[in-house]
Structure 1
Amino acid sequence: MADSVNFPGVYIEENTSFGMPVSPGATAVPLFIADFGTAFAGVARVNSWSDLSQAAGEGATSGVTGEVLRQYFENGGVRCYLANTAGKTLEQALTSAEGFDDVTILVPLGLWDGGADAAGETARTVTAYAAAHQAMAILHAGRDHTAQQARDVARAFKLDAGQSAHAALYHPWLIPSGDDAQPVPPVGAVAGVYCRLDSERGVWKAPANVTVNGGVRPSQAVTDAEQGEAKPVNLVREFTGKGTLVWGARTLNETDMDWKYVHVRRLADTVQRDLQKALNSAASEPNNQPTWDALRATADTYLRDTWQQGGLVGTTAEGAYFVRIGQGATMTDEDVKGGKVVLMAGLAAVRPSEFVTVTVTGTAGSA
């Protein structure tokens, strides 16, 4: 199927079911993963900073973890979840979050507490989960790493191609305002920036050249030359007259141009999640032309809305996206007889002349 597409892109296959219409879901809901002690078991939902102590215990508002979460809310964060690893493995903590299908961002706290080997294991586990759930993992370098060391440790994680496209790493740590304040990882502030931009501009807006609120400053000064050497690490820098800015929007994928940037990956993941919702009732629908036409129209409406909001480039709808579905287009005779439904959507992401392609696959009744 991929060989017949005349646009450069990556082809994502998912097994799901069919349902209409497309209902846009949340794009920026983080899951913060940490040892929260005995305050709660499993996963806690937090709606605001004032809600944090009640939802997760007083300890969640103090120390490094508390400061990271405070920066999240100060930078635009709203709803989030906390996954408690106390007394369980990371894999078990992630499994406990399976029921929260609105999670789109994963943030492991205390990433470097156990050293480099443990950090690598955590990064691989979290980004593998992110890739499987159309989410983005926000990672960070160690407190004392230089920009170049941050690049080296990111590569030392040895993420595979799918994982690296669903991960972004930020450096350096941030110093909160106040006397004798100690640096904390930048991941809370960055997650808040994602939420703020998604709300104000859309998931397709690059989370770069964006002010970090809360009076924080980077624990290290980084030059333009050092930043160039540190790619694909995203740096947080301080500029005269501008304050502290997130200065970079790269994933950790250094080989595939389609998934080089955070906003392109997150846009494609958002479209994939939303279009999959349009397949939820396929098992009860006949696998025939009327069903395909209805699905095509639904997907077209959704993507046209995305384009009109500025999420896709192109002076016309035809230049901004395409939708394909049908026998001989996205499905073989055997697919149709077997109840398989395949929809392909091409997106002109906010990089001119380049399409990324999302394919969702489900099941339907007999033709």
Structure 2
Amino acid sequence: MIARVVHAKAKESFMAASVTHPGVYVEETFSLRLTVSSGQTAVTAFIGDFAGLPTGGVRVNDWLDFTKLADQGAKGEVRQALEPVLKGYFRNGGGHCYLVSTAGSTLGEALEAVTALGDVTILVAPGLWSQAAKSAGEWARALTGWAADNKAMAILHTDRDHTPDQASTAVDAWDLDERVRPFAAVYYPWLQQTADTEPVVPSGAVAGAWTAVDRDRGVWKAPANIVLRGITGPLHTATDTDQGAHLNLNFIRTFPSAGTLIWGARTRSETDEWRYIPIRRLVSVVERDIQAALRFAAFEPNTAPTWELVRAAVDNYLHGLWRQGALQGNTLQEAYFVQVGKDITMTENDIAAGRLILKAGLATMRPGEFITLQFTQETAQA
């Protein structure tokens, strides 16, 4: 119920209809509306041994924010560990991010802090290879597992001196489970950054480029064939043969008259559905947005009016994505579907138990071939 207080000097049309003498008038209106809002798609958390930072993480809005943070107190470690990485991140379009330290805590505790932040969708570990290869594998599995559980992505990288063959072998040795493989992307090689003498990991600049693509085009646009700013070139040169032989890596390459480009957009998955970064990220975004909107149904009766409200809101949301070019198909029927209702997605037992079940299909690769998502929301029982 929404109560609206209207002063006697309100709009003339309202006065003519309902105001007969000076005073304060209350008009009560009721409107149950549901919309599916688009959340942020590219919020990065940089995680590592950053001594001196708060254990719960600190937000950094831009490069100036970082320099102020690094200059406060005895935080030379922060500047040393993060300045080259964040320089590449912000130069290439990165937005607000978080710095989450494992200093004085475990990696698991740091990931719990990332969860508590609430809006992180990308994980980057600049010091992934600062210890032995075994440690890199443990970190890669932990970060990718968190990403899978939270519909996010882990942007990972190979070691500084790896050749393409060594990099590919090292990444395979992580032995990522197929459940989590779609939520990880690996980049090769390290980069030479303008005005820096030491090479830098590629994941910071890549995360910035992902953010810029999301902002300018949309999460469904492949983050590839993108010029990296502030980069003089990759540390190691790769060829078409290297790239063809190592499909588990996303290469960064320099081309004549084009500059240094991100030249790959693959996840670690080998399945057709989840092989490409924009498909996995788009579906994750849709899941997060719809799940957030469905929370309203927890206190609504599990009846036909509620189902229609939900169906219309999700249909409107997916229609908007289709109009922006996120989904395949020349018609709505080819691009997506939304289903909810008795004997459609729910049985009598589901309804009696207060389970509202929605199914949505997205044509992300070919028109009429859908990735189907199912959402279940506990509601007030009918």
Question: Which string of whole-angstrom CA distances, capped at 9 and with x for unpartnered residues, describes residues 23-66 of structure 1?
Answer: 11000000110111013332100100110133465537633521
Name the residue aligned to 2:195: 178
What amino acid sits opposite 1:83 in the alignment?
A: V
What amino acid sits opposite 1:354 in the alignment?
A: E
Q: Is the 8 A contact 1:64 1:184 kept in 2?
A: no
Shift of 1:206: 0.3
CA 1:246–1:351 in structure 2 vs 1: closer, same or farther (change >3 Å)?
A: farther
Give matches, 1:188-337, under 5 Å: 188-254=204-270, 256-337=271-352
1:134 to 128, 143, 151: 151
Shift of 1:332: 2.2
Secondary structure (helix, strand or coil) at the match of 1:175 reads strand
Q: Is the 8 A contact 2:357 2:376 kept in 1?
A: yes
Moved more, 48-57 or 105-114: 48-57
Q: Is the 8 A contact 2:291 2:375 kept in 1?
A: yes
Name the residue aligned to 2:12: none
Q: In structure 1, how many angstroms separate the alpha carbons of the residues matched to 2:117 and 2:375? A: 21
CA 1:249–1:60 in structure 2 vs 1: closer, same or farther (change >3 Å)?
A: farther
Q: In structure 2, how many angstroms separate the alpha carbons of the residues matched to 1:55 and 1:294? A: 47
Question: Which string of whole-angstrom CA distances, capped at 9 and with x for unpartnered residues, describes residues 221-279 of structure 1?
Answer: 0000110111121000010100000000000011x210000000000000000000121
2:369 to 351, 354, 365: 354
What amino acid sits opposite 1:162 in the alignment?
A: R
Q: In structure 2, how many angstroms separate the alpha carbons of the residues matched to 1:104 and 1:188? A: 14
Q: In structure 1, how many angstroms separate the alpha carbons of the residues matched to 2:344 and 2:210? A: 36
Shift of 1:353: 5.2
Secondary structure (helix, strand or coil) at the match of 2:105 reads coil
Name the residue aligned to 1:39: 53
Secondary structure (helix, strand or coil) at the match of 1:41 reads coil
Name the residue aligned to 2:34: 20
What amino acid sits opposite 1:96 in the alignment?
A: A
Q: In structure 1, how many angstroms separate the alpha carbons of the residues matched to 2:192 and 2:249? A: 19
Which residues of structure 1 form unaligned runs of 5+?
1-18
Superposed CA RMSD in Å reads 1.5
Shift of 1:282: 1.7
Name the residue aligned to 1:125: 142
Q: Is the 8 A contact 1:68 1:185 kept in 2?
A: yes
Q: Is the 8 A contact 1:68 1:184 kept in 2?
A: yes
Q: In structure 2, how many angstroms separate the alpha carbons of the residues matched to 1:68 and 1:353? A: 42
Q: Is the 8 A contact 1:234 1:247 kept in 2?
A: yes
Secondary structure (helix, strand or coil) at the match of 2:273 reads helix
Shift of 1:124: 0.7
CA 1:353–1:293 in structure 2 vs 1: closer, same or farther (change >3 Å)?
A: closer
Give matches, 1:99-118, under 5 Å: 99-118=116-135
TM-score of the two chains, using structure 2 as the length reference = 0.88
What amino acid sits opposite 2:35 in the alignment?
A: P
Percent sequence identity is: 47
Q: Is the 8 A contact 1:111 1:119 kept in 2?
A: yes
TM-score of the two chains, using structure 1 as the length reference = 0.91
Shift of 1:178: 2.8
Name the residue aligned to 1:6: none
Q: In structure 2, how many angstroms separate the alpha carbons of the residues matched to 1:279 and 1:251? A: 29
Question: Which string of whole-angstrom CA distances, capped at 9 and with x for unpartnered residues, describes residues 269-293 of structure 1?
Answer: 0000000012112221001111111
What amino acid sits opposite 1:224 in the alignment?
A: D
User: Does residue 341 of structure 1 match 2:356?
Assistant: yes
Name the residue aligned to 1:87: 104
Which residues of structure 2 form unaligned runs of 5+?
1-32
Q: In structure 2, how many angstroms separate the alpha carbons of the residues matched to 1:303 and 1:105? A: 23
Name the residue aligned to 1:10: none
What amino acid sits opposite 2:245 in the alignment?
A: E
What amino acid sits opposite 2:109 in the alignment?
A: Q
Moved over 6 A (4+): none
Which of these two proteins has the greater Rg computed from alpha carbons?
2
Question: Which string of whole-angstrom CA distances, capped at 9 and with x for unpartnered residues, describes residues 76-106 of structure 1?
Answer: 0011111111011000001112222211101
Q: In structure 2, how many angstroms separate the alpha carbons of the residues matched to 1:352 and 1:143? A: 42
Q: Is the 8 A contact 2:38 2:289 kept in 1?
A: yes
Q: In structure 2, how many angstroms separate the alpha carbons of the residues matched to 1:121 and 1:236? A: 25
* Bigger relative contact order (CA 8 A; separation at least 6): 1
1:29 to 32, 35, 43: 43
CA 1:336–1:293 in structure 2 vs 1: closer, same or farther (change >3 Å)?
A: same
What amino acid sits opposite 1:76 in the alignment?
A: G
Q: Is the 8 A contact 2:194 2:232 kept in 1?
A: yes
What amino acid sits opposite 1:69 in the alignment?
A: L
